[in-house]
Amino acid sequence: MRRAFACAAAILALAAGAASAQTQLEMNERAGSGLSQAEARMDALYAKVLARISDAGKENLQSAQETWRHFRDQECEFETMGTKGGSIHPMVVAECRRRLTDQRIKDLEAQANCQEGNVSCGGQ
């Protein structure tokens, strides 16, 4: 029930944000563009973190990032099952992926701005 509510809320938010879009195709494209922008921000932060950590840290971060991407895609596959086959499905999937990517950005920002000596910083 909670997932259904979250999915419905996301659809309503998307519809409100894409009010100037006239077709489902346009709304799908806007959601895809939002995801692309979030992924570009995430990739830039990922590169920033990679540049400042040890070789062992790099290996761990690369593995974690690959695992995270797989998790994100699988989670969104699960969360959007109710729209599968519908014209709204690409938009809902893109919004789910953007939401989870925004969360990942926050995690990478914390690592990118971590002060040396902070034991919660990975890969030093």
pLDDT at residue 8 tops 60: no
Residue 86 lies in a domain: yes
How many domains in the chain?
1
**Angstrom distance (rounded) from CA 77 to CA 102:** 17
Q: Which of 24-28, 32-36, 119-123 shows the lowest mean pLDDT across its residues?
A: 119-123
Residue 120 lies in a domain: no
Residue 118 lies in a domain: no
Residue 26 lies in a domain: yes
pTM of the model: 0.79
**CA-atom Rg of the chain in angstroms:** 17
| Nearest by Cα to 45 from 63, 33, 61 | 61
Q: Is the dihedral of CA 9, 39, 37, 49 positive or negative?
A: positive
- Domain hosting 62: range is 2-102
Tokens read off for 111:
């690592």
Residue 85 lies in a domain: yes
**Angstrom distance (rounded) from CA 56 to CA 123:** 7
Report residue 117's pLDDT band, with 50, 70 and 90 as the boundaries. Answer: confident
pLDDT at residue 59 tops 60: yes
Residue 109 lies in a domain: no
Over residues 78-100, the pLDDT tens digits come to: 999 999 999 999 999 999 999 99
CATH number at residue 70: 1.20.1270
